[in-house]
Structure 1
Amino acid sequence: MTSTAPRATAPRRRRLTGAAVATGLAGSVVLAASLGASLSGFTATITNATNTASSAALAVSETSGGATCLSYDSTANCTTINKYGGTGTPLAPGSSNTTTVTFNNTGSVAVGSATLAPGTCVATTTGATGATTPSTPNTTAGNLCSVLQVAVYKGATATGTPYYNGSMSAFAATAAIEPIAVAANQAYTFKVTLPAAATTAIQGQQVSQPLTWTFNQ
């Protein structure tokens, strides 16, 4: 007798179902990875766009009368302030010239110390009538640099104890000067005297001496 029982197909269905499930799981993994990439953690940033720095400035101005010289430009080589009084009014024995200068700290740091360094005093002879060909005196007694006396005082008057008081020819050592705070000022007074005992050996002469001020932080 021939059997007519149907073929068993259930196992194949189970295999196909398992493949479908595996495919679905793989798709879920891919989707999960994709979602994970797009749902990363938050970030925040701060940008400091303006970061600056500056350097301090040590700047000093010198004033006397209507003249001003500055430590930071071409007027640092100052020719408009004459601390010895000039040659417009020649000194006679026993007379003197007094000149006051004021230093102003216009910078952003204090002047901690300062020095005054005189250069070499040079005397020339113009002659009693102002000869046009000057000569240099060759003796101490006849050299106006050795005879003229210069005194340097702190303040706007020639009073108190001077920093220096002696002949111009000996005024060569550096002298210590006062500190100057920011926005503050300090005055100094120069007194140049031709002693009453001066002789005719120095008449008709004139002197020149550079003075260099150095300001330190």
Structure 2
Amino acid sequence: MSTRSSKPTRRRLALPVLLAGSVASLILGLGLSPTVAAFTAQIRNTVDTAATGTLIMQETNADGSVICNSTDGGSVSTNAATCATINKYGGNLTMVPGQTVSTDIKIKNTGTAAAKAFSLTPGTCTQSNNGTPNGTATNLCATMTLVVTSGSTTVYSGPLSGFTAKVDILAKTGASSVAAGATVPFTFAVTLPSSAGNTFAGLQVSQPLTWDFSTDA
């Protein structure tokens, strides 16, 4: 009786097992290390900034030799200053009847933002003595006249005592704004009428004026 060897059977069983193991390893390897290609696209923004502008007012006399800035009061945080070096009524303390004193000034936006509102607000005109002797008139503010012009536009014309209301400069001139770097010229002409007699001698008037810019129309 012949005896068959079991070795070929073992080889036939071992080969499928080996192949199954290799396939499993290959699948596992592909799952851990994918090599599939893809299209990609990207945009990187490197300039993402925001900043605030400035609104600064500058007043100068006719030849620019005297300058006042809204920041003279300290910084742009306050941005409001008092200018006592530019006298828009001329500062002539020896006027005589029939004389007119004219003063040219310029208001400039030296900031980086446009002024969408621009106004001139007068204070109360007051009368006082100009040395001695003095006349007895008490109505110099109502007697002296003022004409304020900007180019060909009349901003105000009348007695100093009647100059009491805030003036919208943009509405008067028809402009929509005062752009950054733009300059607006003004002329102030003060007249002592020829009808004024000795009772007006030795007197003077004073009236504060306030300019305002705003980015809010």
With the length of structure 2 as denominator, give the TM-score of the two structures. 0.74
> SS where residue 31 of structure 1 aligns?
helix
Amino acid at match of 1:85: G
Amino acid at match of 2:193: P
What residue in structure 1 maps to residue 84 of structure 2? Answer: 79
What residue in structure 1 maps to residue 76 of structure 2? Answer: none
Amino acid at match of 1:203: A
> SS where residue 142 of structure 2 aligns?
helix
Question: 1:58-137 counterparts in 2 under 5 A?
Answer: 58-64=55-61, 65=63, 66-74=65-73, 76-87=81-92, 89-129=93-133
Is 1:169 matched with 2:168? no
Deviations 1:111-140 (A, max 9, x none): 45532211111222255259xxxxxx9x9x
Sort the Cα spacing of 1:154 and 1:6 in 2 relative to 1 into closer, same or farther, 3 A: closer
What residue in structure 2 maps to residue 190 of structure 1? Answer: 188
Unaligned 5+ runs, structure 1: 131-136
Pick from 136, 145, 162: which aligns with 1:149? Answer: 145
Verify the 8 A CA contact 1:111 1:215 in the aligned structure 2.
Answer: yes
Verify the 8 A CA contact 1:127 1:203 in the aligned structure 2.
Answer: no
> SS where residue 78 of structure 1 aligns?
coil
What is the CA–CA distance in structure 2 between the aligned matches of 1:115 and 1:44, rounded to whole Å?
A: 54
Question: How far apart are residue 80 of structure 1 and its match?
Answer: 1.2
Deviations 1:29-78 (A, max 9, x none): 22333442x56646554422222344444444221142112244427421
Question: How far apart are residue 161 of structure 1 and its match?
Answer: 6.9
Largest Rg, 1 or 2: 1
Amino acid at match of 2:91: G
What is the CA–CA distance in structure 2 between the aligned matches of 1:79 and 1:40, rounded to whole Å?
A: 77
With the length of structure 1 as denominator, give the TM-score of the two structures. 0.74
Question: 1:16-35 counterparts in 2 under 5 A?
Answer: 16-35=14-33
What residue in structure 1 maps to residue 45 of structure 2? Answer: 48
Verify the 8 A CA contact 1:144 1:202 in the aligned structure 2.
Answer: yes
Identity over the aligned pairs, expressed in percent?
Answer: 36
Unaligned 5+ runs, structure 2: 74-79
Amino acid at match of 2:31: A
Sort the Cα spacing of 1:163 and 1:5 in 2 relative to 1 into closer, same or farther, 3 A: closer
What residue in structure 2 maps to residue 212 of structure 1? Answer: 210
C-alpha RMSD of matched pairs (Å): 3.1
Verify the 8 A CA contact 1:122 1:209 in the aligned structure 2.
Answer: yes
